[in-house]
Structure 1
Amino acid sequence: MYQPKKYIKDDPEFIFQFIQKHPFATMVSKLDNFIATHVPVLIEGNAENFRLYAHIANHNEQLETLKDDAEVLLIFSGAQGYVSSSWYAEKDISTWDYSAVHINAHIKLQTKEELESSLKKLVNTFENRQNSPLFYDEIPEQMLLDHLPLITGFWAKPFKIQGIAKLHQGYKKEDIASSIDHLEKGDSQQKSLAKDIKEENNL
């Protein structure tokens, strides 16, 4: 990851919370060429010592790369967007603000029991946010029995962790405030980016 010094976010607590907040990751590994899949990834443990877990469809060709001890790169992305210099008090160069976490990890395939436990945690984590949740144990048993053989679960143990948050640090306060104001009038992603910029710059 390219990490200009003023944007580095390698603090363990930032990393841990970022993954919890942005669990949909891009998983990259090497087959004949580089190959990637977009998967929800959950985290367990604490900021100082954690592991990740997810699953992949068995008909996905990337499964060939997922062997015990194989390396993957997991990319977690936060809100991002274009920031126009027309929003500043004086002419300047426009830029793109964003945040991300990269995790290089070693794979360990899950047992059937571990996969089922992981799926239960995955479903329940996101169903807890629904108005009328349908938890894992409420899904018809035969559907689960038919589904489990079609996927493979895995653990991902990090060995290299990098974070970045390029959120207008170092800019003039009035230009930051103006950028936030314009972004807050945009779509949901721009609004999320505005919130991140505001929090990073204590505004």
Structure 2
Amino acid sequence: MYQPKKYINNSPEFIHSFIQQYPFATVVLKGECLLATHIPVLIDGNKENYRLFAHIANHNQMHRFLKNGEEMLVIFQGPDSYISSSWYSFPEIPTWDYEAVHVNGKITLQSDYELQDSLERLMGYFERDSENPVTYKTIPKEIWNDNFSGITGFWIEPFQALGIEKLHQGFEYREIQNINDKLQKGCPKNIQLASLLKKKHNLE
């Protein structure tokens, strides 16, 4: 990850919270070429001691390179937006604001028991606010078994975790306030980014 000094945030608190908040990730693995897949990746453990877990379809081209001990890069990304330099009170080039976390780890394949537990935890996490939550027991057994046999679960044991918050650090309050105002008028993603900017700089 490219980390200009003023944007670095490698704190365990930031990394752990970010992964929980933005679990839909890009996983990258070296096969015959670099391979990437977009999947939900959840965190197991606390900010000081954790591992990640996920699964992929067996017909995914990444599957045959998914082996114990292989390295995987997991990329988590939050809201982002183009920032026009017309929003500044002085001449400057445009830029992009965003937050992201990269985790490098070693793969450990899951047993069927671990995969079953992971899938139940995955559904529990994403169904927690649902009016009619889906659980393992509400899915017909034949449908569950058919899909279960077509996927492989794995752990990712991290050995490096890097974070970045590029939120206009170093700019004057009035400039950041104006950027926030412009973002608030944009799409939902821009509004989310505005909320991060506001929190980072204690805007009123």
- Alignment TM-score > 0.5, same fold: yes
Gaps of 5+ in 2: none
Instruction: State the match for 1:151 in structure 2.
Output: 151
Instruction: State the match for 2:182 in structure 1.
Output: 182
Instruction: State the match for 1:140 in structure 2.
Output: 140
- More deviation in 175-184 or 123-132? 123-132
CA distance in 1, matches of 2:180, 2:129: 28
TM-score, length of structure 1 as denominator length: 0.98
**Could you say what secondary structure the match of 1:80 adopts?**
strand
The equivalences for 1:40-189 within 5 A come to: 40-189=40-189
**Could you say what secondary structure the match of 1:78 adopts?**
strand
**Aligned partner letter, 1:61:** Q
CA distance in 1, matches of 2:194, 2:136: 35
**Could you say what secondary structure the match of 2:130 adopts?**
coil
CA RMSD across the alignment: 0.8
CA distance in 2, matches of 1:131, 1:167: 35
How far did 1:93 drift?
1.8
Q: Give 4+ residue runs of structure 1 displaced > 2 Å after superposition.
A: none
Gaps of 5+ in 1: none
**Aligned partner letter, 1:15:** I
Give yes or no for contact 1:124–1:136 (8 Å, CA) kept in 2: no
Instruction: State the match for 2:11 in structure 1.
Output: 11
Q: Percent identity?
A: 50
| Number of equivalences | 203
CA distance in 1, matches of 2:89, 2:173: 10
- More deviation in 85-94 or 160-169? 85-94
**Could you say what secondary structure the match of 1:59 adopts?**
coil
CA distance in 1, matches of 2:181, 2:3: 27
Deviations 1:125-149 (A, max 9, x none): 1111212222222111221111111
How far did 1:31 drift?
0.8
